[in-house]
A and B are shown apart, each in its own frame.
Chain A
């Protein structure tokens, strides 16, 4: 380049640069002097602080071992946790049944159509009939649900024939003048019974009691750790139903003929899990410190990124800060100062948006880094700070900034083309974007949400998450397969737009490209409208 050429390019470029700098700086300062800017940005900080409070609360909870299936709890207050009762086959709803409590064993019965209708002996009885007692166990309490006869509260039997003139209540008895009873229910006594035709009486005895040492509740927490730590597929071991609650029922929900096992389905390369099919009650309690803590932590980051950053800040900040970037200058008449300078109107729009992005982008980056710093310090894991979170947070920041650019360009253009009704159109657009964001969360592969900015930003986060934490897919599948109550599958699903490569990097690039095209397209529309605009 000759000297003249160099001097020329110097002049053109540095002057452009200076103008861009001046308008950008002016825009930032102007926005900083507006109360609405500070209100909107403070609301954003407040939302993040609230979310952090919830996060801290949730993370503290997951520090405690957590019993997913509730078998560490002594529901019937008999001193034995449910898991132990399950092993002995006693009821976890009946306080009189517990390991070693003895149980009822049937010895004989009179069926509805048996010939002989009499029996006598010392038994535990169960049924209906006339009864003459030698001895009554008035303290018998039996099983709670079995209709035990209360001998204390006895009434005279009514006149007439039973089952013709009157019907007995289950769990009650009445007495005749001769001291005999009509019984209906369960009781313990010595005597003889006469069972009416078509009715039924059973008798048996309780087995002897013996003492069983109650297990501590902690034995039934973390009892079925997932043998795989989620990192290396080759380390998947054979799953065992440690607590026996699956083996008790021999569940085979995955229909492979083997009860209480887990099928891990790997991809063709054998290095990635694509599906997990587990029998019910196997691996229901993973090691919380690792799995649930990590799961909650990731869910929080992804949920915050998508809902708070992209869908809340991303949609609302531009509504307040970008809509009037050029429109307000036109309406106030202050545009005359700026446009009387040698600056193209198209350039002007671009630099205004740059100023807006500089302010909001800095804000988003600071907010994201603050969130990253706090959550990575108090988040789960052995290291002091979770460095692996930072790429995800930065990705969320980038997605939000691209969203701010796209909406900023869109709102600014709408405000420019429709000075009067632009604000209403922008609100409608904001609602549309919000709804499409929700659809993208629930149905990422649906087609209609592709007509929104939020869809592509959310897809971008999905892709970044998969790149930074490749095992998130497995975390999500485990939550599904082992029945954990986790919102991760709601907040995160693998990115859709991989152009059939299954590569999250491709999905990321596609999403970024679409967002940039929307932004530049909107700026272009705004520029061409503004270029031919007569300014009064």
Chain B
């Protein structure tokens, strides 16, 4: 139905409003291949965008196409799409294998094919040893992974994951991230939403930023971050003698100001983040100060958004 030139996801000037509330405002984008992070704070329109893609919602304006087909009126694209919803509820009485097998059968597989595929994907997401346990006994991270498994069971070309890392412990997070990276390296198109920049950064460089229903930025995370580097930025150091360290830093060129927000802390202000980071090791070593941590409090989605919408960071 779709030739190689048709992008997996094509959103053309799509808007969605719920009464007076705007969910998505005139968004256009085309995505094909690789892992794309959809970033935005809560209420930015990430879930609205995904529900438009999955045919749950009908666009108020504009159009949405999956592999060139309107997902609202046609279920055909779902043969090639795997969707992990943000929904927390599951069928707690089913075992992991049951759950994935049953959903696989909705792709028209026989019971045997479905079971074989389900075993394969459960193994892929690392749930092989608990596949015969009821979902009600699964941990949060296991539940997220079984949701991913069901989305992968028919070997889709496009995978849409709505906040798959939400509420997971660090181990589950790491394992889910490696699954997603693996999918990207297999050449699939993966859309993953999150409101945490650091999570996405560990998975992909290609991002879409949504804010208040608008498409704010689309492209490479490092390029966007580079723009951010030229902006006033803070570095927070925790050390035993902040005043001595401050005098060492104030002499350096990229640093244009210091402050002491709390006892044992030094904050450095800079307009060139990468240069400031490059001088950081040398200054610390020379000053012989005992530094216990270095943080970038502005290196988060909020600062990025603040910069992109033109406010102060």
A334 to B240, CA, bound (A): 53
Complex contact B107–A342 (CB within 8 A): yes
Complex contact B106–A19 (CB within 8 A): yes
Do A340 and B151 contact each other (CB < 8 Å), given the known contacts A19-B108, A334-B87? yes
A536 to B58, CA, bound (A): 11
A283 to B75, CA, bound (A): 73
Complex contact B102–A340 (CB within 8 A): no
B89 at the interface (CB under 8 A from A): yes
A22 to B76, CA, bound (A): 18
Complex contact B88–A15 (CB within 8 A): no
Complex contact A339–B93 (CB within 8 A): no
Complex contact A22–B102 (CB within 8 A): yes
Kindly supply a per-residue 1/0 record for chain A positions 1-41, scoring 1 wherever the CB is within 8 Å of any chain B CB and 0 otherwise.
00000000001001110110111011001100100000000
Q: In chain B, what residue has the closest Cβ to A25?
A: B102
Complex contact A336–B75 (CB within 8 A): no
Chain A residues lying within 8 Å of B51, measured Cβ to Cβ, are 535-536
Q: How many B residues face the partner with a CB closer than 8 A?
A: 32
B78 at the interface (CB under 8 A from A): yes
Query: Which of B65-110 touch A at CB < 8 Å?
Result: 75-76, 78-79, 81-83, 85, 87-91, 93-94, 102-103, 105-110
Complex contact B54–A26 (CB within 8 A): no
Q: How many A residues face the partner with a CB closer than 8 A?
A: 29
Complex contact B57–A333 (CB within 8 A): no
Complex contact B102–A33 (CB within 8 A): no
B256 at the interface (CB under 8 A from A): no
Tell which of A33, A333, A342, A535 touches B106, judged by Cβ atoms closer than 8 Å: A342
Complex contact B103–A337 (CB within 8 A): yes
Complex contact B108–A18 (CB within 8 A): yes
Chain B residues lying within 8 Å of A338, measured Cβ to Cβ, are 103, 106
Kindly supply a per-residue 1/0 record for chain A positions 65-101, scoring 1 wherever the CB is within 8 Å of any chain B CB and 0 otherwise.
0000000000000000000000000000000000000
Kindly supply a per-residue 1/0 record for chain B positions 34-52, scoring 1 wherever the CB is within 8 Å of any chain A CB and 0 otherwise.
0000000000000000010
Complex contact B91–A30 (CB within 8 A): yes
B218 CB to closest chain A CB, in angstroms? 25
B150 at the interface (CB under 8 A from A): yes
Tell which of A19, A23, A336, A344 touches B85, judged by Cβ atoms closer than 8 Å: A336
A337 to B90, CA, bound (A): 9
Complex contact B56–A535 (CB within 8 A): yes
Chain B residues lying within 8 Å of A337, measured Cβ to Cβ, are 85, 87, 90, 103, 147, 150
Complex contact B90–A339 (CB within 8 A): no
Tell which of A14, A334, A341, A535 touches B78, judged by Cβ atoms closer than 8 Å: A341
Kindly supply a per-residue 1/0 record for chain A positions 317-346, scoring 1 wherever the CB is within 8 Å of any chain B CB and 0 otherwise.
000000000000000111011111111100
Query: Which of B245-295 touch A at CB < 8 Å?
Result: none
Complex contact B102–A342 (CB within 8 A): no
A342 to B108, CA, bound (A): 9
Chain B residues lying within 8 Å of A334, measured Cβ to Cβ, are 87, 89-91
Complex contact A22–B75 (CB within 8 A): no
A27 CB to closest chain B CB, in angstroms? 10
A152 at the interface (CB under 8 A from B): no
Chain A residues lying within 8 Å of B56, measured Cβ to Cβ, are 336, 339, 534-536
A18 to B110, CA, bound (A): 7
Complex contact A340–B78 (CB within 8 A): yes
Chain B residues lying within 8 Å of A25, measured Cβ to Cβ, are 102
Known: A340-B82, A342-B75; 12 extra A-B contacts, CB below 8 A, are A14-B108, A19-B108, A23-B106, A25-B102, A334-B87, A337-B103, A337-B150, A341-B106, A342-B79, A344-B75, A536-B51, A536-B57
Q: Can you name 17 A-B pairs with beta carbons within 8 Å?
A: A18-B108, A18-B110, A19-B106, A22-B106, A26-B102, A332-B87, A333-B87, A333-B89, A338-B103, A339-B55, A339-B56, A340-B54, A340-B78, A342-B78, A342-B108, A534-B57, A536-B56
Which residues does A use to contact B, with CB under 8 Å?
11, 14-16, 18-19, 21-23, 25-26, 29-30, 33, 332-334, 336-344, 534-536
Q: Which 4 A-B pairs have the closest CB atoms?
A: A15-B108, A22-B105, A333-B87, A341-B106
Which residues does B use to contact A, with CB under 8 Å?
51, 54-58, 75-76, 78-79, 81-83, 85, 87-91, 93-94, 102-103, 105-110, 147, 150-151
